[in-house]
A and B are shown apart, each in its own frame.
Chain A
Amino acid sequence: DTGVSQDPRHKITKRGQNVTFRCDPISEHNRLYWYRQTLGQGPEFLTYFQNEAQLEKSRLLSDRFSAERPKGSFSTLEIQRTEQGDSAMYLCASSPDRVYNEQFFGPGTRLTVL
């Protein structure tokens, strides 16, 4: 399977705990995105990487959220001190280095904060 993969697929945690999600993009894609999606809404942009450089970050992203892509391949998204409002589907997408920027999504990680 050469698509985008994400791990874990589901995560249940207690409020206040830290969680980390991993995304492996399509191997030849330089661009990687993280989104958050809640029920009835479209994906909400969180951050964007071009290779290992984090070039854009949503102003909605609080200091509790951090993302890395250390070698320009896989990426991690960490949420510190989780809150119930963080419960959502976290989606990763990757795209080739083309002007049109078409993105291909992974299966997502569903986070539930109790």
Chain B
Amino acid sequence: QKEVEQNSGPLSVPEGAIASLNCTYSDRGSQSFFWYRQYSGKSPELIMFIYSNGDKEDGRFTAQLNKASQYVSLLIRDSQPSDSATYLCAVKGTGGFKTIFGAGTRLFVKA
């Protein structure tokens, strides 16, 4: 079992729709959870992070965390073509400061 798992996609949504990206993790003691956006050929860019159960909203983005189910998600409202990218889920585990990344989900927003 991979430590951080994401559906590779591609996930295709029409412009203006809600995009839902999901991630599961194996370390039950994980403390911090991150979503990064990565455009092709570029480095990852931090979108938001969450550390307690529930929802956290930042503009069009909402992160959701359920530690009991070891599940974290990212919702993108009013999706725009410029949101088309790979979205990486990352998890900071219990030991040290090592952060484990998933392989990412590719999102396409159709105009």
- Point out residues on A near B: beta carbons under 8 Å: 31, 33, 35, 40-45, 48, 50, 55-56, 89, 91, 99-108
Contacts and interface: CB of A to CB of B under 8 A. Distances in A.
A91 B43 contact: yes
B19 interface: no
A102 B56 CA distance: 15
B97 A41 contact: no
A99 B32 CA distance: 9
Contacts, number: 61
A101 B97 contact: yes
19 contacts: A40-B103, A42-B4, A42-B103, A43-B44, A50-B97, A91-B43, A99-B31, A99-B32, A100-B49, A100-B51, A100-B92, A101-B32, A101-B92, A101-B99, A102-B34, A102-B46, A103-B34, A105-B46, A106-B43
A113 to B, nearest CB: 19
Contacts of B42: 107
Residue from A43, A56, A89 having most chain B Cβ neighbours under 10 A: A43
Contacts of A100: 32, 49, 51, 92
Interface of B: 4, 8, 31-32, 34, 36, 42-46, 49, 51, 88, 90, 92, 96-104
Contact of B97 (A31, A42, A104): A31
Given A100-B32, A100-B49, A45 B98 contact: yes
Closest 7 CB pairs of A and B: A42-B101, A105-B43, A100-B32, A108-B43, A43-B101, A105-B44, A42-B103
Given A42-B88, A91-B44, 5 more contacts: A43-B44, A44-B101, A55-B97, A102-B46, A105-B45
A7 B102 CA distance: 26
A45 B100 contact: yes
Contact of B104 (A42, A56, A99): A42
